[in-house]
Amino acid sequence: MDNVTHSLVGALLGQMGLKRKTGLAMPTLIIAANIPDIDAGCTVLGTVSLAMRRGITHGPIAMLLLPLALTAVMVWYDRRQTRRGTRPADRLPLRPGWLLALAYIGCLSHPLFDWMNSYGVRLLEPFSHRWFYGDALFIVDPWLLAMLIVGVWFSRKRDKAARGDWRRPARAAFAGIVAYLALNLGISTQAAAQARDLVPGARMVVANPTPVTFWRREVLVRTDSTYGSYDSVPFQALKAVSPIRPIGMEDPRIALRVVHNPEAQAFLFWSRMPLAEVQGDTIVLGDQRFSGIAAGNFRVELKP
């Protein structure tokens, strides 16, 4: 998911009551909810970065070590402010045990929400390069953002007014988000099942979420040699929205050219639904999930 969503998830957890467990609880939750994205710096490498994103910093070693590192930084920061006499008087006492627990909670929320979209996450890296996908949410979901914002805003407003029920809006938002995630997982599962029944020989089916219209899915279907897409709305029949086309990955020139092309190697390592299109002497690689083969960074040209 986008980092605004991750930040708000951390803030919502704090407003549910966790921010009162220790000093620096809220910044710890928000930073922890974002810290696996330290791999975003690799985007300066261009297409090669696709092989690195949502990998090692989202895997089990990172989930173990990043919260420890963050807790150590927070403890150091609090002690530094204490020595300098700049520690805010209204900050709660620092409880390292709770701080570490909150760092783990925030950090673990990150791959959970990343898993919810079709971009996916390599949850077992570096022990396995396998990608995991929930196919349930668009990468920026306005409905999820709205629930997070409303829950955090009303909870903070009540807290500032010294109301005893300040946690309630955040907890209600959390319950709504859990229901929303379950609903979207169900919609994607049903759409994928429809496509498998409709297309004989379907080898891969991805119920790709669409922006804003959370109930609709762009269902991407592949056989061994062809691909196509369908529009899915719950309780309605699938509608074809693109012609059946050849995948094109069987071209023997692809393997020969990829050997000497680090960008293509990274792209194919990352790609879930690779496609190939011949354009003169050039072969263009793309991924079916991302608007065909001409979608920004999600394409690589293999020249002779």
Q: In terms of domains, do 7 and 127 share one?
A: yes
| pLDDT tens for each residue of 43-89 | 777 777 788 889 999 999 999 999 999 999 999 999 999 999 999 99
State how far the Cα of 123 lies from the Cα of 57, in Å rounded to an integer: 9
| Pairing state between β 282-287 and 245-246 | unpaired
Residue that terminates a domain, selected from 94, 116, 134: 134
pLDDT category at 242 given cuts 50, 70, 90 is confident
State how far the Cα of 294 lies from the Cα of 275, in Å rounded to an integer: 11
The tokens describing 28, both together, are 């710890």
Q: Is the pTM of this model over 0.85?
A: yes
Residue that terminates a domain, selected from 223, 245, 267: 245
The separation between the first and the last C-alpha atoms of the chain, rounded to the nearest angstrom, is 37
Instruction: Name the burial class of residue 255, with classes exposed (0-12), middle (13-18) and buried (19+) by CB atoms within 10 angstroms of its CB.
Output: exposed
Q: In terms of domains, do 252 and 239 share one?
A: no
- Name residue 82's amino acid: T
Q: In terms of domains, do 50 and 16 share one?
A: yes
Tell me if 232 is assigned to some domain.
Answer: yes
Q: In terms of domains, do 291 and 230 share one?
A: no
- Name residue 225's amino acid: S
Q: How many domains does the chain have?
A: 3
Phi/psi at 137 (5° precision): -130, 145
| pLDDT tens for each residue of 182-227 | 999 999 999 999 999 999 889 999 999 988 999 999 999 999 999 9
CA atoms 265, 271, 276, 282: torsion sign = negative
Beta strand ranges found along 89-235 (DSSP E)? 204-209, 217-222, 226-232
Q: In terms of domains, do 86 and 61 share one?
A: yes
Q: In terms of domains, do 48 and 14 share one?
A: yes
Tell me if 51 is assigned to some domain.
Answer: yes
Q: In terms of domains, do 130 and 20 share one?
A: yes
Check if the beta carbon of residue 246 is closer than 8 Å to that of residue 277. Answer: no
Q: In terms of domains, do 214 and 117 share one?
A: no
Tell me if 282 is assigned to some domain.
Answer: yes
The range of the structural domain enclosing residue 289 comes to 248-302
